[in-house]
Amino acid sequence: MGSAPSQGPTSKKEPDGVQYSSLVKTVVQISMPTGAQMGWDSYVRLLYDQANKAVQQQANALLTRGNITVEEARALVESQRNSLVLEFRKPLTPWGKLYSEILKPSNNLPTLQKLVAEKGSIEAVMQSVGKTRVVVNRIAVVSRVAGPALVILSLTFSAIAIQDAPYGKKGRVAATEAGGTIGGLSFGMGGMWVGCLAGTSFASPSLVIPGWGELSTGGACLIGGIASALGFGWAGDKAGRAAGAAIYDFATSFRY
């Protein structure tokens, strides 16, 4: 009988899927808090935009009928449109609320009298009463795609890290990943608010220039918020990972 063929050295099969660098993983996880906040706020913005389209439809019906009364116009502007502004700010994240207040302060919403003074007539006001800011809408469109994508990628990376952890280490890796996610989110969300406030304070002198001041402070809030969220998110991720690992070690080594 012939001898069995010798078994040569075998090579470990690489896991299927896309290979990624640690840099990519870090960037996605640290930017995830920004994506989570902007993604949520962008969906609220979508609902707000749809509600304003309904307001504009009512205004168009009045324009078609003609002979718009002051009471009708005031009800549409002050009772409906301004009420929508306030109601749709309630579910926003702290950063979203601050950003909205910068663009349109709640204590200074336009009245019918003010809009007529700016546009010249009630009919002119009715033609644009339901329009929303194009720039903010474009930011929201991007955020609705990028925000959820960053969250999904971050959770996917964490799941892969847990799955690929050595036998007996999965629990500790899971605690570490969970701590990083929680820490990154909490620090990042707070950091975005702080950055928005800091950026706005820095740019606030430009408010002396009508129109440009509002735009510049809104942009400063956006840029400052994102930059600060990345920094705070990174710190929160590191702190959360350390805390998660420490809690796991304590829980698994504690004896009564």
DSSP letter string, 186-233 = HHHHHHHHHHHHHHHHHHGGGGGSTTHHHHHHHHHHHHHHHHHHHHHH
Cα–Cα distance measured from residue 200 to residue 105, given in angstroms and rounded to the nearest whole number: 14
The residue among 116, 127, 123 whose CA lies nearest residue 56 is 127
Q: Residue 143 domain-assigned? A: yes
User: Which residues, other chains included, contact 92 with Cβ-Cβ below 8 Å and sequence gap of 6+?
Assistant: 40, 41, 44, 100
The one-letter code for the residue type at 138 is R
Number of domains into which the chain is organized: 1
Asked whether residue 195 is domain-assigned, the answer is yes
CB of 45 closer than 8 Å to CB of 152 = no
**Within a domain: 13:** no
14 phi and psi, to 5 degrees?
-75, 140
pLDDT (tens digit, 9 = 90+) per residue, 224-248?
888 888 888 888 888 988 998 898 8
| Full domain range(s) for residue 100 | 23-253
Q: How far apart are CA 190 and CA 232, in angstroms?
A: 8
Query: Do residues 96 and 192 make contact, with C-beta atoms less than 8 angstroms apart?
Result: no
- Indicate whether 11 belongs to any domain: no
Residue 153, in any domain of the structure: yes
Please report the pLDDT score of residue 232 as a whole number.
87
pTM of the entire predicted model: 0.73
Residue 83: inside a domain: yes
The gap from C-alpha 47 to its chain's centroid, in whole angstroms, comes to 15
Residues 77/110, Cβ–Cβ less than 8 Å: yes
The C-alpha torsion from 90 through 93 and 94 to 99, rounded to 10°, is -90
| Closest CA relative to residue 98, chosen from 223, 229, 222, 236 | 222
pLDDT tens digits in sequence order for the chain, 256 residues long? 455 444 444 444 444 444 566 667 777 778 888 888 889 999 999 999 999 999 999 999 999 988 889 999 999 999 899 999 999 999 999 888 988 888 888 888 999 999 999 998 999 999 999 888 888 888 888 888 888 888 888 888 888 888 888 888 888 889 988 888 888 888 888 888 888 888 777 766 544 444 444 557 777 888 888 888 888 888 888 898 899 889 888 888 866 5
Model confidence pLDDT, tens digit, residues 96-115: 898 888 888 888 899 999 99
Residue 49 domain flag = yes
| 64, part of any domain | yes
The answer to whether the CB of 236 falls within 8 A of the CB of 183 is: yes
